[in-house]
Structure 1
Amino acid sequence: MSQLTIKSLLFLFLVFSYLRGFSQDTTAKEIPVIWDLATCLQYAKQNNIQLKTLRLTTESAKQDELQSKSALLPNLSGSASQSFNHYNLNTNGTTNAINSSGAYGLSSSWTLYKGGYLKTDIKQKDLAVQSANYTVLSTENDITLSITQAYLSILLDKESIVYNKELVKTSNAQLAQTQHLFNAGTAAKKDVAQFEAQLAGDNYNLTTAENAERQDKITLKQLLQLPATHNFDIVKPDTVISGEPIPDLQTVQQYALQNRPEVKNAELGVRISGYDLDKAKSGYLPTLTLGAGIGTSYANDPTYNAFKQFDNNFYQQGGLTLSIPIFTNRINKTNVAKAKIEMAQSTLALENTKTTLALTTEKAYITTQNAQSQLASAIEQLKYNTEVYRIATQELKIGVFNIVAFYQQRNLYVQAMQSYIQSKYNAALAAKIYAFYLGVPIKL
């Protein structure tokens, strides 16, 4: 192999390796390590398998629509046949021959009238495409709420971890101080054991909070459908508390009933079933079809030229066919009856969707009110318990304390802090969900 060829191959290998590495780097950059809520929602909308499947369903509905439109046009088909026959020229069978013949043609038909079925089918297929799009939007909304809930659960876990780490740090300091007092003879061994038990409990709670964060991260990764081995964490916003007033229930319900995709989809379901009824009724009406065809044929004949046969045998035909249904074994009557039943079912489905949505928004309204009231109470409770616990901690530092009273105050403080963290994120989640029914995008 020449030196020039070796250099060329080496150059191509280096270029391929670079492009491959660049491609891998680009692919890796598509999945970030640190996620904010907006990134989570956008990624899910683009990559969620359920949404991808529904979008393919929409594409399938579009193909059905195109097919229904094409039914208004005439069709065209060709035909060709060729045959060969073996026979004997002489009676004694000493000479054999093969005879051939063929026929070729084009035919077309065009449905001119079918009781309005074709145009009704086009309208129905167009609504089916819209319905499929609304199904995608409705599923996007469901995934948005699920991701938001999972995201806020992780934020709650993170804050709980920080809070429990502070408790562990405080318990270590209190244990060290009590151990020092015990060594000096001013504290009992029981006091040291109690602080050791307190530290063990705080470490347990910290481990529980860390495990909860891992579990909630797995939940969010499943919603995003990220690889199990992908390193993953979320951004903690400066605050998740919304001080905006709650919109009144009537405004939210009215907007939701007019704009939510599940309602619009149910309304389309009623219209689609109405077109099914129209199509069923068209079965009682006649069908008018225009047909046309051309063709020719030949047979192998030594005395008759094949091209002249093509010319002499060339034919053209055209005509109209009128089909009038007289007795159809109750097929049309059954189709109309079933279409009416389907339309009644679609109407009930629409009413149920509206009722469910109205109750859901009312529940979200009540949940938001309760969550904000609980948050206000938790803030007050934490404020006073923090001050009492601070005083008790100061008394512990100077050696003027009652161990029973200290533990009581500490437990009240811990409960107040836990209630505050829980109620803060509950209030944030409830407010975001309620505003979402008013068409407000979820942001942190």
Structure 2
Amino acid sequence: MKYNILLSLFLLFALRAVEAQQMDLNQCIRYALDNNLAITNKNLEESLNNELYMQTKRNFLPQIYGGSSANKQYGRSIDPTTNSFVNHDFFSMNFYVDTQLELFRGFSRINSMKFQKLNLLIGLEESKQKKMEIAFEVMNHYYDLLYFTRLHEIVQEQLRLTILNTEKIKTMIGLGLKSESDLFEMKAQQATETHNLLLAENQYDLAAISLKSLMNWPLSKELNPVDESMENTIAIQPSADRVYEAALLHMPSVWKAELDVEAAGKQLAIAKGNLAPTLTLGGGIYTNFADSRKEESHNGLAEQTIPFMEQWSQNLAQSVYLNLQIPIFNRWYGNSQLKQAKWRKTMAENRQEEEQQKLYRLVNEDVQQLNSLQKELDLLETKKEATQEAFLIAKKKLDQGLISIIEFYTAKNQLAQAETEWIRTLLQLKIKEKTIRIYLGEELF
């Protein structure tokens, strides 16, 4: 019964591996960037910022608007066509088309256009930063999944060896070469490793769910990481200062902080411009109609209302004007906006310096961890090779009856632990190496 359960576990995991779609790290990152909802929202924000920028360009165009009104007057009132008093009811209509063009307002429109252009660029850098953050998250979850895949393989191999040794011990007991206590030790070890196999599968499933959720991959669809080379081939040995200087040139967070300072400067210029006078050029065309305006009929016997089109032409008027508006007192609103803009600019400069300090700290930490992991991996590789030799020797001694089952499994467990630590450290080293390469400007996705 136990062997049937174990066989079912092996076959189930193997079948899932065959049916699952194989994807490497770059494919997972690209899929996440194409399907992540946060990236979709960032793309919409880019479109919004671009529209705001285009509108600031359109603000240089003149405003044109028209209108009309209709009135019914009763009693004593002024005839709009003659500006004289009349004592009877009449109907009138007014029509106009006006246009205005702002000539000067402290260069506020120019600075507003530049500010929105900077906002557009800031949005692009934010989008790049979001994509980079998602790429880093996918990379970490991808290597987590790869680690648990390898861990499952190690535990599975350990269990397979235990099953073989259990059968061998049974044969040796039949020959009188081993005692029943050795068999019980084997069965206890087999139960422990079966439990470890179940734990490894659960950890694999949880890691797979995390990666799928981040990628927006269907949870019901299997996904397996491509089996990467597990050789220690890390060749990069950068200096922290060189990596930092390179990162300053292209990291989105740094560029965004710099653009924020420029945008705050434009906001300050806009606030100053709002304190300046506003000069506007305008013009308009006006006309009206009233049924109170009469003329004699052709036979001279009665008066009739002058026709609509004739009044339209006769009453047509044009105007051109310049309007100068000087702000004198607006409850200190302009001065308050100016102070706020100055403080925002100082805050943006502080954030820029803070972002550079943060990047410097992260680069130094990552470079230090890269070097430390490389040294640790070299030591673990030596340890893995030594425990491999120790396990082979222990296996021969067990066959010869020179050591106990407990001593054999001590060597076996030490080998499994050494392999697990080596794989974990190697994958951590790969993450740090890719991180450093991104700092250096390499496109890894």
Range class of TM-score, shorter chain: 0.7 to 0.9
SS at match of 1:186: coil
Structure 2 residue 50 is the aligned partner of structure 1 residue 48? no
Q: Corresponding residue for 1:126?
A: 117
Q: Corresponding residue for 2:373?
A: 371
Structure 2 residue 250 is the aligned partner of structure 1 residue 262? no
From 412, 415, 421, the counterpart of 1:413: 415
Instruction: Kindly provide the amino acid, as one letter, of the partner of residue 306 in structure 1.
Output: F
Q: Corresponding residue for 1:217?
A: 208
Q: TM-score, normalised by structure 1?
A: 0.87
Q: Corresponding residue for 1:105?
A: 96
Query: What is the number of equivalent residue pairs in this alignment?
Result: 403
Instruction: Kindly provide the amino acid, as one letter, of the partner of residue 169 in structure 1.
Output: R
Q: Corresponding residue for 2:244?
A: 253
Give a deviation string over 1:85-105, Cα, whole Å, max 9, x none: 799xxxxxxxxx996432221
Q: Corresponding residue for 2:198?
A: 207
Q: Call closer, same or farther: CA 1:239–1:402 in 2, change over 3 Å.
A: closer
Deviation at 1:79, TM superposition (A): 0.5
Give a deviation string over 1:152-208, Cα, whole Å, max 9, x none: 111111111111111111000111111222223221221111111111111122221
Structure 2 residue 414 is the aligned partner of structure 1 residue 426? no
Instruction: Kindly provide the amino acid, as one letter, of the partner of residue 244 in structure 2.
Output: Q
Q: Corresponding residue for 1:29?
A: none
Q: Which moved more, 1:199-208 or 1:223-232?
A: 223-232
Deviation at 1:212, TM superposition (A): 1.3
SS at match of 1:321: strand
Quote the Cα distance in structure 1 between the aligned partners of 2:221 and 2:194. 28
Structure 2 residue 169 is the aligned partner of structure 1 residue 172? no
Quote the Cα distance in structure 1 between the aligned partners of 2:231 and 2:141. 14
CA RMSD of aligned residues (A): 2.0
SS at match of 1:150: helix
Q: Corresponding residue for 1:81?
A: 69
SS at match of 1:76: strand
Instruction: Kindly provide the amino acid, as one letter, of the partner of residue 82 in structure 1.
Output: A
Structure 2 residue 228 is the aligned partner of structure 1 residue 237? yes
Give a deviation string over 1:334-364, Cα, whole Å, max 9, x none: 1111111001100110011000111011111
Q: Corresponding residue for 1:438?
A: 440
Quote the Cα distance in structure 2 between the aligned partners of 1:420 and 1:234. 19
Instruction: Kindly provide the amino acid, as one letter, of the partner of residue 80 in structure 1.
Output: S
Q: Which runs of 4+ in 1 moved over 6 A?
A: none
Quote the Cα distance in structure 2 between the aligned partners of 1:287 and 1:350. 35
SS at match of 2:348: helix
The answer to whether the Cα contact below 8 Å between 2:138 and 2:211 also exists between their aligned partners in 1 is yes
Quote the Cα distance in structure 2 between the aligned partners of 1:375 and 1:303. 104
Q: Which moved more, 1:110-119 or 1:391-400?
A: 391-400
SS at match of 1:237: coil
Fraction of identical pairs, as percent: 24
Structure 2 residue 327 is the aligned partner of structure 1 residue 325? yes
Quote the Cα distance in structure 1 between the aligned partners of 2:272 and 2:92. 48
Quote the Cα distance in structure 2 between the aligned partners of 1:133 and 1:427. 31
The answer to whether the Cα contact below 8 Å between 2:257 and 2:351 also exists between their aligned partners in 1 is yes
Quote the Cα distance in structure 2 between the aligned partners of 1:278 and 1:85. 51
In structure 2, list runs of 5 or more residues that go unmatched.
Answer: 1-19, 76-87, 293-303
Instruction: Kindly provide the amino acid, as one letter, of the partner of residue 251 in structure 1.
Output: R
Q: Call closer, same or farther: CA 1:415–1:261 in 2, change over 3 Å.
A: same
In structure 1, list runs of 5 or more residues that go unmatched.
Answer: 1-31, 88-96
The answer to whether the Cα contact below 8 Å between 1:115 and 1:285 also exists between their aligned partners in 2 is yes
Q: TM-score, normalised by structure 2?
A: 0.86
Give a deviation string over 1:383-413, Cα, whole Å, max 9, x none: 0111111011122223333333323322322
Structure 2 residue 126 is the aligned partner of structure 1 residue 135? yes
SS at match of 2:324: strand
